[in-house]
Amino acid sequence: CTLSSLKAQDLFTTAPPPEKPPAPILQNIDSRNSHSLNGTWHAMIDPAVFSLNDLLHFAERHYQPQAGELVEVDLENGLTLRVPGDWNTQDDRLFFYQGKVWYKRDFYVEKSEGQRYYLHFGAINYRAEVYVNGTLVGTHTGGYTSFNCEVTEQLREGSNLLVVKVNNTLSSDDIPTPRTDWLNYGGITRDVHLITLPSSFIENYKIQLAPGQDDFIQVSIRLNGATSGKIQLDIDELNIHQQVDIQNGDGWLEISVKPELWSPESPKLYEVSLTYESEILTDKVGFRTVEVKDRQVHLNGSPVFLRGISLHEEAIGSKGRASSYEEALELLKYAQELNCNYVRLAHYTHNRHMLRAADELGLMVWSEIPVYWNLEFGNPQVLEKAKLRMEEMIHRDQNRASIVFWSLGNETPVSPERNDFFAALNRHVKSLDPTRLTTAALVFGGEEIQEMAKQYYFPAMQGQTIEKWDIHIKDELAQIVDVAAINQYFGWYYSGFLASAANLDPLVARKVMLDNMSKIQFHVPNEKPFVFSEFGAGAKRGLKGSSGEFEIFSEAYQATVYQKQIELIKNQIGLVGTTPWILKDFRSPMRLKQGVQDYWNLKGLISDNGERKQAFFVLRDFYQELADK
């Protein structure tokens, strides 16, 4: 720092640096000339709510303090962290940590004339500042989508210094807000690559069937650098060898061809290659159509029931954030064992390996951004953030046949601002990708629960028998999206709320609820098809219990809830799928019952170590029955 900044306040700053928007997303990094920067990085926990200005100057220098020089930061010795990986599971001081951690590594480059260089991050949760040789090259907020920064100018021949400042602190105007029922894993949680590119290159492309047409492929390609040129598209197995003409940076091509369609039963993927000058991108792309027709979801023109399960992005065996292809396969193999044809990747965009694996295994996907619970829906900046997260998700995954739903959000409180927010976001998603369906999980509760209690539940508590419990969904969000999604927890939460509201015996209340679940029938206006995007119950693996005892957190009780939920499912008209909550127990700061939960949400059908609970087999057999129909 210079003499003028000796005044104390100049040594510290709470203001983050100016935003430096990342470069447009590079698609399909696995097919690029990339060098992995994964591995063990130096790190330093920086818990102060301000940042030492001179830390950045320090970042500029590969430096050892000179004799007599006072330095109070150190990114060379001490803590190291594995990248990719959340910091929470790597150091006890960081388990619940919300704040800043500085990462640093060196890397070696042999720069070639005319080449361009990008740093690509699979995700950093939540806010990132990226410095190369002391210069800020990019900032990004959003913990679950990829971003990349061009570093061509800042890179030096030989050794380079990469410093990344990560802050996982969330504010009320972030997406999500600090209120989440999952642990806010911080850090460089996904792969890091240095990508070498020619001076002009294919930045992004989409190769998909036209909406609702199984014999017409639309190709769009964006070039970075040159504004015109020719790109060779080859899909040998379809005998496609065509040139795409690029004008003003963009190219478009339509091809009449009838490919073998991708489906869960036959997840056909085609080898696709795009050649532009010295760069050849190869990809594996599936072709399928998905649409809503006659109150059903049609895959390749035929109605399909979505036999799903929800997942968080947590690896099996207490390893925290999943980030590898192997971990993705390990999780999705359980979904296959459940006879699933579909998975809900909650509540945020998962790593790219999950989507590749779903494409290969034949699992349809609900993919979402973490518009979760109580966002500042009236804040225009929050809508802009949501649109950006959607663009990042769609630009990375728009060629993944497995994705059938883009989900706009989860369980958000109803208000006019929130409805306007979703209407705008839905329009934006449709403009980015008209080939997929939109959905969003409603928060089923409030008004509908009160009405149900008055009309049916309390009379049932008085011993009245009412054969049909009609529940009318009022949430306008159901009309904004293509397929409505309802999170409902009959058998778990509701009888508790109602018992305490009406001063009823909780055990009696629970039994009455279970006895009547099969009578419940949801009605979504305008015959909108709907899914149950969540239902379930918690159970501690090994706490067996016995059916009929209604022991909360026993496996037997969780299995009972699943049996009753299956009866409820069979009673629905217009239901097109279910994703029970959830495949695996997952970490949450909200689940505090010591000795039972211990910061784990226990609604998993398998424990964190992958042990199957009784309810796993109840769902598996039900889905087998559906698959056999």
Residues forming contacts to ligand GCU in the complex (CB under 6 A) are: 181, 347, 410-411, 487, 534, 581, 601, 603
Residues 6+ away with beta carbon under 8 Å from 25: 146, 147, 148, 203, 204, 391, 392, 395, 396
Residues 6+ away with beta carbon under 8 Å from 96: 88, 589
Cβ 285 to ligand GCU, closest distance in Å? 32
* Nearest CB to ligand GCU, comparing residues 104 and 540: 540
* Nearest CB to ligand GCU, comparing residues 161 and 371: 371
Residue 483 and residue 614: Cα distance in Å, rounded?
A: 31
Beta bridge partners of 140: 128
Cβ 201 to ligand GCU, closest distance in Å? 39
Cβ 345 to ligand GCU, closest distance in Å? 13
Angle at CA of residue 306, ends 300 and 311, nearest 5° = 125
Cβ 314 to ligand GCU, closest distance in Å? 12
Indicate the DSSP class of residue 607.
Answer: -
Residue in the block written with tokens 């056999």: 628
**Tokens for 417?**
């601002």
Residue 563 and residue 537: Cα distance in Å, rounded?
A: 11
β-strand 279-285 against 33-36: which pairing, if any? unpaired
Task: Please give the span between the terminal C-alpha atoms of the chain, in angstroms, as a whole number.
Answer: 73
* Nearest CB to ligand GCU, comparing residues 46 and 534: 534
Cβ 534 to ligand GCU, closest distance in Å? 5
* Nearest CB to ligand GCU, comparing residues 264 and 538: 538
Residue 292 and residue 521: Cα distance in Å, rounded?
A: 21
Spatial strand order of the sheet with 279-285 comes to 201-209, 216-224, 250-256, 240-247, 229-235, 270-276, 279-285
Q: Rounded to the nearest 10 degrees, what angle do helices 494-501 and 506-516 cross at?
A: 130
Cβ 579 to ligand GCU, closest distance in Å? 11
Buried b (16+ CB within 10 A) or exposed e, 56-80: bebbeeeeeeeeeeeeeeebeeebb
- Give the three-class secondary structure for 248: coil
Cβ 443 to ligand GCU, closest distance in Å? 8
Cβ 184 to ligand GCU, closest distance in Å? 13
Cβ 33 to ligand GCU, closest distance in Å? 39
* C-alpha torsion angle, residues 309, 121, 103, 329 (rounded to 10): 30
Cβ 497 to ligand GCU, closest distance in Å? 13
* Nearest CB to ligand GCU, comparing residues 445 and 574: 445
* Nearest CB to ligand GCU, comparing residues 372 and 469: 372
* Nearest CB to ligand GCU, comparing residues 203 and 534: 534
Cβ 181 to ligand GCU, closest distance in Å? 4
Cβ 429 to ligand GCU, closest distance in Å? 20
* Nearest CB to ligand GCU, comparing residues 145 and 310: 310
Residue 373 and residue 359: Cα distance in Å, rounded?
A: 30
Cβ 393 to ligand GCU, closest distance in Å? 18
* Nearest CB to ligand GCU, comparing residues 183 and 504: 183
* Nearest CB to ligand GCU, comparing residues 181 and 279: 181
568 backbone φψ class: left, alpha, beta (φ>0; ψ -120 to 50):
alpha
* Nearest CB to ligand GCU, comparing residues 147 and 535: 535
Q: Are 577 and 297 in contact (CB under 8 A)?
A: yes
Cβ 58 to ligand GCU, closest distance in Å? 40
Element (H, E) at 621: helix 614-628
Residue 600 and residue 598: Cα distance in Å, rounded?
A: 6
Residue 426 and residue 480: Cα distance in Å, rounded?
A: 7
Cβ 263 to ligand GCU, closest distance in Å? 29
* Nearest CB to ligand GCU, comparing residues 262 and 372: 372
Residue number closest to ligand GCU, CB atom: 181
* Nearest CB to ligand GCU, comparing residues 458 and 493: 493
Cβ 582 to ligand GCU, closest distance in Å? 7
* Nearest CB to ligand GCU, comparing residues 191 and 411: 411
Nearest Cα neighbor of 441 from 178, 181, 623 is: 181
Residue in the block written with tokens 């663009």: 391
β-strand 100-109 against 39-46: which pairing, if any? antiparallel
* Nearest CB to ligand GCU, comparing residues 529 and 580: 580
Q: How far is CA 274 from CA 202, 261, 277, in A?
A: 8, 21, 10
Task: Fill in the amino acid letter for 402.
Answer: S
Nearest Cα neighbor of 231 from 288, 281, 300 is: 281
* Nearest CB to ligand GCU, comparing residues 202 and 408: 408
Q: Are 263 and 300 in contact (CB under 8 A)?
A: yes
Q: Rounded to the nearest 10 degrees, what angle do helices 325-337 and 352-361 cross at?
A: 40
